[in-house]
Copies of this chain bind each other. A is one copy, B any other.
């Protein structure tokens, strides 16, 4: 293929568009970390305008013509070039189905929605957020109709975040988890031995937490010459360029786990981004394949690694040095038990590994009903609280810790939540394979040697970008399709001994 080939033209266009997409990501990162409070209105206009330009590029007629020349339907999508052509064609078709007006309206509504959400959460005022949510939901349903679907509109939204995933497949996996985890949560809750949670609520000075999180994430492999760690209301990870990965967490002087495991989680995302082939930035072959796979990386580092006994064998001494007041009189065993404390709670991002997936079941149910038109946005707080009572046996004390806790819906991220549990499922299935391949994973972790695991993840997952679909990656790595068994086994193995339930 010469440089004037249709493929070269497509590649150049995609990489040019990525320059604007990543500029937009800078504006969004800045909005959520740095921007002065009064600047939101104009920032929304900037974002809307850039989003409109990007949409024009993505749907340019000549791009479609170059792609058709390349016969995308028949291309082998596992090679880097085939992958680029396959996904560029799929994305082109999806983008072309959206009217310019809808794209710009969505961009603006979600910027304003996020600003309104932050304010509403602060004031516990769902009513102030409601008109934004209604508008966003209306636009998202319009988007689902434009994209099209076989069974239900929610599938069209889910497919955006987890290509190939359908309610038909996801719902049974979630149901299996629910039926296995509900009795496990009950057994843990009524176990005679309980985690010494109070340890984590001692005083952990924020400046020290900041340093400890930074040093730990650096040691697991996050490259700070190509990234940053900052603070925000709702932690996230974003890449503003091939060498510019930004992760964010939120510290609380009186709660160790929020800031630390938040940082570890986002660093897990960051390791994936930093492991993608950087010379292919902006091309499908250099882009993460799905949010579920992305989440598998963050949950693997946060939980499978970060909450393991082996990890704290390595890191507890440093924690004691950093936080002498809080940890001087604490044993490794107690600390490890504390960070694995299981208790039904209101806040998803701070939930333990066992109850976490029940939070997702609730959101999946609710947003599916919202999109189907079976639930009105105005009725959401009531439905939310009822579901928490039913699945977790607790009722949020107000909307701040209830329906207003997550940024997602305000940002138009509907159909996104299931990818969190898919991530947990992928992570457990990947970890089984990695443990077998590496043989002595726990020993490595206990010595603070993370390079072999990171290398394994890079070689088996990161380097491929979108060359394999999530289901294909799982099959290649584990020899089986995605199942609930590995996650359930992993959770039982970790929590039953801790709580004396064997």
Contacts and interface: CB of A to CB of B under 8 A. Distances in A.
A36 B20 CA distance: 19
Contact of A225 (B22, B37, B41): B37
Interface string A52-68: 01000000000000000
A244 B42 CA distance: 9
Contacts of A242: 42
Contacts of A36: 224-228, 243-245
Given A39-B243, A53-B53, 9 more contacts: A20-B49, A22-B42, A26-B30, A35-B244, A36-B245, A39-B240, A39-B241, A42-B241, A42-B244
Contacts of A45: 19
Contacts of A26: 26-27, 30, 46
Interface in A210-245: 223-228, 240-245
B19 A49 contact: yes
Interface of A: 16, 19-20, 22-23, 26-27, 30, 34-39, 41-43, 45-46, 49-50, 53, 223-228, 240-245, 281
A88 to B, nearest CB: 19
13 contacts: A16-B49, A20-B50, A23-B23, A23-B46, A23-B50, A26-B26, A26-B30, A30-B30, A34-B34, A36-B243, A36-B244, A38-B243, A42-B243
Contacts of A34: 34, 228
Contacts of A37: 225
A454 to B, nearest CB: 18
A307 B35 CA distance: 31
Contacts of A228: 34, 36
Nearest to A223: B38
A97 B3 CA distance: 32
Contacts of A22: 42, 46
Q: Which 10 residue pairs of A and B lie closest in terms of their CB atoms, listed nearest first?
A: A39-B244, A42-B241, A38-B243, A19-B49, A38-B226, A39-B243, A38-B225, A19-B46, A23-B46, A37-B225
A418 to B, nearest CB: 32
Contacts of A50: 19-20, 23
A281 B39 CA distance: 13
Contacts of A43: 241, 244
A240 B240 CA distance: 18
Contacts of A42: 22, 241-244, 281
A199 to B, nearest CB: 30
Contacts of A240: 39
Contacts of A30: 26, 30
